Amino acid sequence: MCGIVGYAGKSDAVPFLLGGLERLEYRGYDSAGLAVVENGGLSVRKAVGNVAALACEISARPLAGAPGISHTRWATHGEVTLENAHPHVDATGRLALVHNGVVENHRELRAMLEERGHEFASTTDTEVLARLVGEAFESMPSRDGESLREAVRVALLQAKGSFAVGVIHADAANAMVAARRASPLVVGSGSGGQFLASDPGALSGWVDEVVFLNDGEIALLDGGELRVDRIDGSAAPQPVFREVEAAAGPSELGGFEHHMLKEIHEQPQTLRDVMMGRLDSDEATARLAGLDCPPEDIRGWGQLILTSCGTSFHAALAGEYLIESMARIPVECEYASEFRYRNSPLDGGAAVFALSQSGETADTLAAVRECRRRGIPTFGIVNNAFSSLARETRGGVDIRAGAEIGVAATKTFTSQVAVLAMLGLLLGRMHDMERGEGMEILEAFSRLPDMVAEVLGTEGLVRGIAEKYADSGSFLFFGRQAHFPVALEGALKLKEVSYISTCAHPSAELKHGVIALVNERTPSVFIAPRDGLFEKNLGNIEEVRARRGPVIAVGNAGDGELEAICDAFIPVPKVPEFLAPILTVVPLQLLAYHIAVLLGCDVDKPRNLAKSVTVE
Ligand code: AGP
């Protein structure tokens, strides 16, 4: 989604800005722009399309100077046009502002500003902020960094909604202001200047440490010691510096054509990593130290709520089946976007787990904040220990999947499910699960990475299936119990990267309506391992066949009965039911990938999608 990079210092800002934006490209965007203070004035360049297009525009019309701010825009308010791309300028054309988030009261602010004579150049909510800050700066007694900081602060007090902003002004040529509410922003010093960015990865190699601004904070970067205040005028806590991890780059494709394929193939290792040190064979349980919660409290949880969005929601749904069957504790899954507004009755023993790959998903963070307000213990299942989600929950579990660059989540799904299975084991052993059963589960966990590697060995077969069905206009996905979330995830993966229309249902729902979609040109993908409901799945497959619908089945290796009635069969090893979703999802990831490649789609950056959805 939108990205921000800013630089203030003695060097030319442009190479830093372009380099930083390139590192944020994987998050998804549709236009880019930057502004620098140059020869006492403000120079702005923008491009519709990617950062390379912006670099071309700069080659054609060079600029240089500092400070500078830059942005990749993922359209929310207003079409993808040059006018709507950031930075936006104020009425004088001497102030530039970039913004992530949504100004919810932008209509009334715009009307108010228009009454005062402002003529807007764009249809964005962001330009309203640029105009407001500009007006406030014009009324300041002096024209320096301090005044710019105060102008930003005063203007933001009028804005409702979420924002992370970077602001520069030609009259405050040594200064840059950063402020945030609900959208992430970091600031740091190094490489001959000071920086701001929406993601610390953008600054890797230039700064060693960053400060994650807290909600409602504002910082002035003017070459002096970093000063952080609160937008509302109250005192801010002392800034805490944290190390920046090295960012993954495109050079790290490791021989794979795309990040998505590389990340699918990383799963044996990411599963080893997520389990490392967490399986306890002495006690036949799992150890999740990051929960940072006394066993008596954990034992007291009478209900779990899992909340998240997209793929992370599908992982939660799989977790619901696994935890309930292992621990016999009721689990509810809630879309974070709905949960945050639902005011659902939760009993005193409820604990909430929020799942998020990015740790920055706006809806998930809002759900967490609402739970905290209600005094409900809230934990994060995260892939970034410095993310907002990790910082805003009282404890949690790091899925240790490493950077996921492909916009379509793959390895993080399997790692999230593995964490939930370990949570199920931990809770099961605290309640009624026998030691022997715990040991069997541990043994299955230890074989899991090799079994995923075995499934990856079917890639040639899956590619052949992709070739046969890539031209299908739509796909149906079906599964039972914990394989229903796998069906949902397979359907999401395919539609995300290939733009093919898909839907997913529990297999038994077929006859309740979706059977109307079955025809000779619409493949039905069934996840049908030999579990307690295998025969039921078989019946549904026959119902599709009876209507000449092609059937692709994911089943257990050696299952001749299933293979015989399908048009295509993908074998996976047999594992205990609570780990099976981690295996059966892998062929669906490969199928989506290969169909997308065959259709010529941009698999790592699918149209309209953002890796980190930081707006509501
Ligand atoms: C998954 O392929 C998608 N990119 C999307 O559904 C994603 O899972 C969702 O936006 C949630 O993201 P999060 O895990 O970072 O919170």
State the pLDDT at residue 609.
82
How does 151-180 read in b/e, with b if 16+ C-beta sit within 10 Å? bbbbbbeebebbbbbbbbbbbbbbbbbbbb
Residues contacting 198, CB < 8 A, separation 6+: 2, 3, 4, 5, 24, 100, 164, 183, 184, 185, 186, 614
The answer to whether 198 and 73 are in contact (CB under 8 A) is no
Nearest-CA residue for ligand 1 atom 5 is: 310
Q: Which atom of ligand 1 is nearest to the CA of 611?
A: 4
Q: Rg of the chain over CA atoms, in angstroms?
A: 26
Going from the Cα of 410 to the center of ligand 1, the distance in angstroms, rounded, reads 10
Query: Which atom of ligand 1 is the closest one to the Cα of 311?
Result: 8
pLDDT of residue 524: 98
Active-site residues, by number, are 2, 611
The reported pLDDT for the residue numbered 201 is 86
Which residue out of 1, 361, 615 has the highest number of ligand 1 atoms within 8 Å of its CB and is therefore the one to mutate? Answer: 361
Per-residue pLDDT tens digits for 523-554:
999 999 999 889 999 999 999 999 999 999 99
- Lowest-confidence range among 178-182, 240-244, 281-285, 428-432? 240-244
Q: Average pLDDT, stretch 20-40?
A: 90
Amino acid 247: pLDDT = 53
Angle at 364 between CA 187 and CA 232, to 5 degrees: 45
**Integer angstrom CA distances of residue 606 from 58, 473, 493, 499:** 26, 18, 11, 9
Residues with CB under 6 A from ligand 1: 309-312, 356-358, 361, 364, 407-409, 496, 612-613
What spacing in Å lies between the alpha carbon of 92 and ligand 1's midpoint? 40
Q: Which of ligand 1's atoms lies nearest the C-alpha of 358?
A: 15
Ligand 1 atom index nearest CA of 408: 2
Q: How many CB atoms lie within 10 A of CB 231?
A: 21
**Residue among 260, 306, 309, 411 to mutate when testing ligand 1 (max atoms within 8 A of CB):** 309
Distance between Cα 610 and ligand 1 center (Å): 8
Q: What is the mean pLDDT of residues 428-448?
A: 95
Which is the closest atom of ligand 1 to the Cα of 410?
A: 2
Note the pLDDT of residue 251.
47
Q: Residue 541, SS3?
A: helix
Tell me, in angstroms, the distance from the centre of ligand 1 to residue 558's CA. Answer: 34
Instruction: Sort strands 551-556 and 568-572 into parallel, antiparallel or unpaired.
Output: parallel
Give the helix/strand (H/E) hosting 97.
strand 95-100
Specify the amino acid at residue 458.
T
Give the residue, by CA position, lying nearest to ligand 1 atom 10. 310
pLDDT, one tens digit per residue, over 348-400 is 799 999 999 999 999 999 999 999 999 999 999 999 888 889 989 999 999 99
Nearest residue (CA) to ligand 1, atom 9: 310
Q: What is the mean pLDDT of residues 30-57?
A: 95
Q: What phi and psi values does residue 110 have, to the nearest 5 degrees? A: -65, -45
Ligand 1, atom 4: closest residue by C-alpha: 408
CB contact at 8 A, 181 and 163? yes
Helix pair angle (411-430, 580-598), 10° resolution: 170
pLDDT digits (tens, 9 = 90+) for 468-500: 999 998 999 999 999 999 999 999 999 999 999
In the reported structure, the alpha carbon of residue 562 is separated from the centroid of ligand 1 by a whole-number distance in angstroms of 33
Q: What is the pLDDT of residue 77?
A: 83
What Å distances lie between residue 213 and 144, 158, 219, 363, 386, CA to CA? Answer: 22, 20, 8, 19, 12
Cα 262 to middle of ligand 1, angstroms: 18
CA distance 559 to 302: 40
Å from CA of 218 to ligand 1 middle: 29
The per-residue pLDDT for 357 is 95
Q: Order of strands across the sheet with 551-556?
A: 501-506, 474-479, 524-527, 551-556, 568-572
Highest mean pLDDT among 208-212, 292-296, 378-382: 378-382
Residue-level pLDDT at 246: 61
Residue 344 CB neighbours (<10 A)? 11
CA angle 587, 415, 370 (to 5 degrees): 120
Which residue has a Cα nearest atom 6 of ligand 1?
Answer: 310
Q: Is the pLDDT of residue 60 over 90?
A: yes
Q: Which of 615, 611, 594, 602 is nearest to 261 (CA)?
A: 594
**Which residue from 527, 495, 504, 522 is spatially nearest to 596, judged by alpha carbons?**
495
SS3 200: helix
pLDDT for residue 147: 97
